Structure 1
Amino acid sequence: SYNDGHYFKDNSLLNSEEFRITLGLYVDDFEVANPLGTSRVKECGYEKVMQPLVKDLVHLEQTGLFIDQLGATVKGTVLYVSADNLGAHSMAGFLEGFTAERFCCFCMGTRTEVQHTEVGSSNTETRTKDTHDRHVKEVKQDPSLSKLYGVKGSCPLTDALQHFHAVTGYPPDILHDLLEGIVPAELCLCLSEMIEKSQ
């Protein structure tokens, strides 16, 4: 389970023996007959749109909620945000256009390195909390560095919560990356190959 994972164990709020609430948020750009679309987020930004939620999350993390059935105050925090790549990049403060020199939110590999070498944990430098925080700070001082680092600003959740960070809080999303991404493409190629070989 995720309780056994590295990020859960490293989270000083969650690794306590006391009962804690872990939240997973889901972000997707799904619209059904919505004439406004995502214009609110584009117009105001995630920081403004998420302000009421972030306020409640800060309260949960710092003060907690009294649960009558437990007879105790329980704290909690956001463990992860599941989103498609565009949503994750937008909310986490990375560039959304994927045209940056360093476009990956997991590693510091350049566009050239990713295109011409095998990408793996040993081949590219992993993004760390410290590196990311430094990049955000530098981009705020000099916005021209944004394309170099692939960072446009800070993440509202990282700014407000003590136990959440943009680098560790946005895992790959199985629905978008696998089920709607590479799996149908690979499955189609495999089936085409099998059909071709059977003839």
Structure 2
Amino acid sequence: MSRKHKACSVDSISDMYRETIARSSAISACEDASQSSNDVTTNESIELTENFNETFLRNLSLFYLKLQGQLLLPASTIQTIVEEMQNVHELGQDYTLSKLRSLLKNDMCLTDDAIVKICDCVKDTDLFSVCHQGPLRTTYSRAQAFKKMFKYIEPKKIILGTDENMTQRFAYYIPVIQTLKSLLESELWKNSVSQQSCEIDSDVFGDIRDGQNFKSNRFFVENPGCLKLILYQDAFEIVNPLGSAKKRHKVVAVYLSVANLPAHVRSSTDHISLVLLCGENDLKQFGSAKVFSEMLVDLKHLEENGITIGGETIKGALYCIAGDNLGSHSIGGFTENFSRSQYFCRYCEITQSEFQSDDPNVCGPQRTPESYDSAVGDLQAEDCGAIKGIKK
């Protein structure tokens, strides 16, 4: 009555449609239950619609992120793809709506107002158009949508100083602490770590945790469940390596992987995180200590205080820095001239002449932390170019 016959009163009901009080009470109870059920169904429908909208937008975002991050398409190319896909979709949508109008008018004999309402509803609920005319419309809006939807970690700008042209130079650092928090909160971490713990075999050398260096590390022995971090650094050209600008725009990149993950997982580039970017010339001019300063603070905090996830505090430490000869010698302060320097090896103190004249498999006296520190001390005291291949 209240929905379909608002203008009518209860007295206008004919006696033939009236029931007893008991019957009316039963009907009323059924109606209340039905109304409650309708309300629940409506709420569930709204929630389902919102979840579906979010899922649709997320999948589209992942598609465009894949084009950008994995297939390395330029932003202008992705923008062209977005616009052309929307144009083609609108053509197909116009054709579908014209067929729908014809069916509603000729076969179902609906009024023009009803047809317009139905077609507008179909058009307004088209998720593809809603996404492409809204959050995925432009390069900027897509970037903002990606930041809100996914666990985006904002890079920190490290001011290094000015170069010879009085130009401000800087590096970009992606905080290690926040990167590790995102990893620890993921399902990947929970599944992989449980799998890792089941794979340990003390009789087989299967990973770095089986080596003597790892087993003799005091921090890892005292904190068996801690994070074991591996940093990898290398330089790459962002312009033609054969052109006139080679080495001018060369960039040093530092990446992070976690040794707690199984080898087959951490070897995937999807699970290797970018940590730092810096121009190679800036690294040489301002030094590793300044470029890596923010990262060192985070590593120290991780080792001393750890990360709290779900009420549990997990500590971590750097296990090693991987890289090629040039990069490793640069970070370690060793000479970077392998053909002319007298001491060219960072593992032992063999000389160039001994290496050339003798068996190339022979090794000199092994370098130790004590001999390294002694050479650095003599270097600072004597203010000379290099001592036993160590220059800084």
Q: Same fold (TM over 0.5)?
A: yes
**Closer/same/farther in 2, CA of residues 36 and 94 from structure 1, 3 Å limit:** same
User: Which residue of 32, 38, 50 corresponds with 2:292?
Assistant: 50
User: Which residue of 62, 84, 90 corresponds with 2:304?
Assistant: 62
Aligned residues: CA RMSD? 2.0
**Alignment partner, residue 226 of structure 2:** 20
**Size of the alignment, in residue pairs?**
149
Q: State how far apart, in whole Å, the 1-side matches of 2:304 and 2:336 are.
A: 31
Matched residue SS, 2:221: coil
Write the deviation string for residues 18-56 of structure 1: whole angstroms up to 9, x where unpaired: 311111111111132497432221221111111111110
User: Which residue of 77, 89, 103 corresponds with 2:317?
Assistant: 77
**Alignment partner, residue 40 of structure 1:** 282
- The letter for the 2-side match of 1:151 is I
Tell me if the contact between 1:100 and 1:149 (Cα under 8 Å) persists in the aligned partners: no
- Structure 1 residue 128: deviation in Å? 0.9
Q: State how far apart, in whole Å, the 1-side matches of 2:332 and 2:324 are.
A: 12
Tell me if the contact between 2:238 and 2:249 (Cα under 8 Å) persists in the aligned partners: no
Q: TM-score under structure 1 normalisation?
A: 0.68
Q: State how far apart, in whole Å, the 2-side matches of 1:80 and 1:64 are.
A: 18
Write the deviation string for residues 90-120 of structure 1: whole angstroms up to 9, x where unpaired: 1111111233321100001111111122245
**Alignment partner, residue 356 of structure 2:** 115
Matched residue SS, 2:315: strand
Q: State how far apart, in whole Å, the 1-side matches of 2:249 and 2:301 are.
A: 30
**Alignment partner, residue 87 of structure 1:** 327
User: Which residue of 149, 160, 167 corresponds with 2:388?
Assistant: 149
- Structure 1 residue 145: deviation in Å? 6.0
- The letter for the 2-side match of 1:104 is C
Where in structure 1 do 4 or more consecutive aligned residues deviate above 6 Å?
none
Quick check: 1:29 aligned with 2:269?
A: no
Write the deviation string for residues 49-76 of structure 1: whole angstroms up to 9, x where unpaired: 11111110111112211122xx321211
Q: Which runs of 5+ in 1 are unaligned?
A: 154-199
- Structure 1 residue 144: deviation in Å? 2.3
Q: State how far apart, in whole Å, the 2-side matches of 1:27 and 1:151 are.
A: 20
Q: State how far apart, in whole Å, the 2-side matches of 1:14 and 1:63 are.
A: 15
User: Which residue of 206, 209, 212 corresponds with 1:3?
Assistant: 209
Write the deviation string for residues 124-152 of structure 1: whole angstroms up to 9, x where unpaired: 21111111111111111113261x41001
Q: State how far apart, in whole Å, the 1-side matches of 2:209 and 2:348 are.
A: 24
Quick check: 1:124 aligned with 2:364?
A: yes
User: Which residue of 360, 375, 379 corresponds with 1:135?
Assistant: 375
Greater relative contact order structure (CA < 8 Å, 6+ sep) = 1
Q: State how far apart, in whole Å, the 1-side matches of 2:332 and 2:233 are.
A: 11
**Alignment partner, residue 166 of structure 2:** none
Q: State how far apart, in whole Å, the 1-side matches of 2:348 and 2:331 are.
A: 18
Task: Name the one with the larger helix percent.
Answer: 2
**Alignment partner, residue 346 of structure 2:** 105
Q: State how far apart, in whole Å, the 2-side matches of 1:41 and 1:62 are.
A: 28
Tell me if the contact between 1:138 and 1:145 (Cα under 8 Å) persists in the aligned partners: no
**Closer/same/farther in 2, CA of residues 120 and 15 from structure 1, 3 Å limit:** farther
**Alignment partner, residue 78 of structure 2:** none
**Closer/same/farther in 2, CA of residues 114 and 5 from structure 1, 3 Å limit:** same
Q: TM-score under structure 2 normalisation?
A: 0.36
Tell me if the contact between 1:104 and 1:150 (Cα under 8 Å) persists in the aligned partners: yes
Q: Which runs of 5+ in 2 are unaligned?
A: 1-206, 240-246, 251-279
**Closer/same/farther in 2, CA of residues 91 and 17 from structure 1, 3 Å limit:** closer
Tell me if the contact between 1:3 and 1:9 (Cα under 8 Å) persists in the aligned partners: yes
**Closer/same/farther in 2, CA of residues 120 and 126 from structure 1, 3 Å limit:** farther
